[in-house]
Amino acid sequence: MNKVFKIAALCAVFITFLMGCSTIRTTQSPRTAVEQLLISEAVIRSLPSKSDESLPIPPGSKVILNTSGLTKDQTLLQQVLTGWLGQHGYLVQKDEKNAIYRIDVIVMALGTELGGDFVGLPPIQSTFIPFSLPELAFYKSAYQTGYVKFNMNIFEMLTGKFVGSTSTFLADSYYNNYTILFLYSFTSTDLISPPQLGSFRRDSLNAIDTQSEN
């Protein structure tokens, strides 16, 4: 009887230890910082460094932007496009009366995707024991991808004449998490300066930036 009790006690301690090591992912904003970076960096990467081969109108043209899509994130895309056009010599107008061309931005996709793999035991809750068992992951992965795809149609404001369409602008970004043998976790990403989650040896991003400047 004592032997059974000792085994049960050891199991309880082991389970408690595993429960303490479980990771809980929360956010205080509608989107996590990682999700915001996945979308914003995908948008920036979709725009080429040169615009002379992208738009069928000459630099210096006065234009107005209209954005159409199925997501509220298209507002971000429009603002990034405004800056990109300005950097390449186009004059983005707020009033269509001052514009020579109208650029209709057609957003086909803009958002994030989440997928993953899991090998192990899922969390268990039972009425027969006074505690629940946490998730036990021999291998677990979570793949987050930011994705953007859009093109632009250009029209003359005065006549409504169709000038031309751009090729498709397309880009993505990724942030993947992996867990092996319950406790060992690591991340793989192409994001620039992503947030660092709990680590005993964590350095602030400001400190990293300062060291790189020196």
Kindly report, residue by residue over 118-177, the tens digit of the pLDDT: 888 877 776 666 667 777 888 999 999 999 999 999 999 999 999 999 999 999 999 999
CB atoms within 10 A of CB 28: 5
Residues 6 or more apart whose CB falls under 8 angstroms from that of 207 comprise: none
Pairwise CA distance, residues 13 & 10, whole Å: 5
What average pLDDT does the chain have? 83
Could you give the CA distance from residue 112 to residue 35 in angstroms, rounded to a whole number? 7
Alpha carbon distance 184, 139 (integer Å) = 10
For position 1, what pLDDT does the model report? 52
Domain ranges of the chain: 31-198
Q: List 54's β-bridge partners, or say none.
A: none
Rounded CA-CA distance 21/10 in Å is 17
Query: For position 128, what pLDDT does the model report?
Result: 66
In degrees, to the nearest 5, what angle opens at C-alpha 43 toward C-alphas 41 and 48? 105
Q: Give the pLDDT of residue 195.
A: 87
Q: How far apart are CA 179 and CA 183, in angstroms?
A: 7
For residue 39, how many C-alpha atoms fall within 13 Å in the half-sphere facing its CB? 19
What confidence score (pLDDT) does residue 205 get? 66
Give the residue from 148, 147, 151 showing the smallest Cα distance to 168: 151
Q: Do residues 141 and 157 lie in contact, with contact meaning Cβ atoms separated by under 8 Å?
A: no
For the chain, strand residue ranges (E) read: 62-68, 91-92, 101-121, 136-156, 162-165, 169-180, 184-189
Tokens of 124: 């268990």
Fold designation for 31-198: Rossmann fold (3.40.50)
**What is the crossing angle of helices 74-87 and 33-46, to 10°?**
40
Distance CA 190, CA 46 (A): 14
- Closest C-alpha among 122, 140, 128, 134 to residue 185: 140
pTM of the full structure: 0.78
Structure token pair of residue 71: 């997501």
* Higher-confidence position of 131 and 80: 80
